[in-house]
Amino acid sequence: MTRSNFTRRGLLRTGAATGAGLALPTIFTGSAWSAAHSGYTNAPEGGTVTLGFNVPQTGAYADEGADELRAFQLAVEHLNGEGDGGMLQTFSEKNLDGTGILGKKVEFVTGDTATNTDTARSSARSMIEKDGVIMISGGSSSGVAVGVQALCQEAGLIFMAGLTHSNDTTGKDRRANGFRHFFNTEMSGRALAPILEANYGKDRKAYHLTADYTWGWSQEKSMRTYTEAMGWETVNTVLTPVGAGDFSSYITPVAQSGADVLILNHYGGDMVNSLTQAVQFGLKDMQANGKDFTIVVPLYSELMARGAGANIKGIFGSQNWDWKLENEKGDRYKGTNAFVQSFGTKYGFPPSQAAQTCYVQALLYADAVTRGKSFNPCSVAEALEGFEFDGMGNGPTLYRADDHQCFKDVVVVKGKEEPENEFDLVEIVDITPRDTATYPVDHPDFQGGSLGTCNPGA
């Protein structure tokens, strides 16, 4: 049964066959990216256009992902002229008339990123190759956003980042085809520092627990920069794995560390767990260095507040947007109520900031296509760069051309001491105006990358 006959002839034959095999792919090079009829990847044909919504349906950020998906579905309805139109009525541009995008009915496919860059890339690739999407949006977790953004750049699609808060998304890892509406850790730092100083003073010792990936690193760096600038001392920083579930082993040493502030650079389910455990360990009621021990959660959301329940009371953080903005802070934030209204009607509860940013991104994309009169990613990018708009709930907003980052007001919030209902968990403490939140393009935390040039694919 064994035939090891490596003859000269056999070897030659094998060699020739292997050579032929290796040469096989060259046959196809002549007509690489044959879709020459369009000039860009996945040009929509017929009466429909497909968008890809790649969100975490499993993993530590699954709650945010579910809310993002609801927002996307709502946006698609509004673009197709169903429902009450939401922010289309308040948006400062009036190009979208409910007939889809450029007269094409909007359809969408969804994918699960599993809060994992590898899975997200694979899911995005199948959207591009199988479903022929023209734009990809979504992605809680900056790791995912950075990975998918790079993929979209390579494949020649527009990426409208959803919930991604790391500086790197529009800093070191920015791409010409990627756009971010959400704010970032630098803005969080700028917004939070004065509030923390006013409430907790200049002499504090901080202990950081940080999610071990691009967003956590970025958040920790920004918080350290701003808290140390006002005199706080950083006692220790500890990296924790994403989706750890149990943080008790990380929280136990905090009490003995000599710190009097715990800064939780966690998000989503991780933050809910770590905060809950920190409170259970009695940190919130503890005295350290003669002061009340406090906890700070730099990036906050209603969803997390809902998950953490009473533990969130009195804890400061920052938000991109809040559903009570227009009611409490006035007409500057118009669009908020329109969106909350249609979201609430459809789903029965107010939207989170993740939902708002995704909804706005979808509308902004549709508007940019309409203004540029083409689905070509380069035309869309041109329409979005330097675009100034209003009426989307955040006040006047600018898409800066240099790094594709949106600049707008930042909301500083606090866990409400006495919530009136289950959705009213967060209290708006302060608004940091856009001018204060704006940082220069050459900010050192955003260096080491460049946009490159827009890639239309095909």
Which residues contribute to the site for other proteins (CB under 8 A)?
A: 1-6, 10, 13-14, 17-18, 21-22, 24-26, 28-29, 31-35, 57-58, 109-112, 116-119, 121-122, 125-126, 129-130, 142-143, 146-147, 150-151, 153-155, 172-173, 176, 212-214, 239, 241-242, 448-453, 455
When the beta carbons of 4 and 256 are compared against other proteins, the nearer one is 4
Least Å from the CB of residue 113 to other proteins: 11
Q: How far is the CB of 10 from other proteins (least distance, A)?
A: 6
For the bound state, the minimum distance from the C-beta of residue 141 to other proteins, rounded and expressed in Å, comes to 8
DSSP code, position 260 = S
For 171, other C-beta atoms within 10 Å of its C-beta total 23
Smaller CB separation from other proteins, 84 or 154: 154
Number of Cβ atoms within 10 Å of the Cβ of 427? 17
Cα 433 from Cα 423, distance rounded (Å): 25
Smaller CB separation from other proteins, 10 or 98: 10
- The DSSP secondary structure of 161-202, one letter per residue, reads E-S---GGGGTTT--TTEEE-S--HHHHHHHHHHHHHHHH-S
Nearer to other proteins, 34 or 287 (CB): 34
Nearer to other proteins, 178 or 335 (CB): 178
CA distance 24 to 150: 29
Residues 6 or more apart in contact with residue 99 via CB below 8 angstroms: 80, 81
Q: How far is the CB of 239 from other proteins (least distance, A)?
A: 6
**Shortest Cβ 13–other proteins spacing (Å):** 7
List the end-to-end C-alpha distance of the chain, in Å, as a whole number.
52
Least spacing, CB of residue 343 vs other proteins, in Å: 19
Answer yes or no: are the C-beta atoms of 298 and 193 closer than 8 Å. Answer: no
133/288 with CB nearer other proteins: 133
**Min separation Cβ 163 and other proteins, Å:** 16
Cβ distance to other proteins smaller for residue 117 or 357? 117
**In the structure encoding, which two tokens stand for residue 441, read together?**
């393009």
Where b means 16+ CB within 10 Å and e means fewer, 321-339 reads: bbbbbbeebeeebbbbbbb
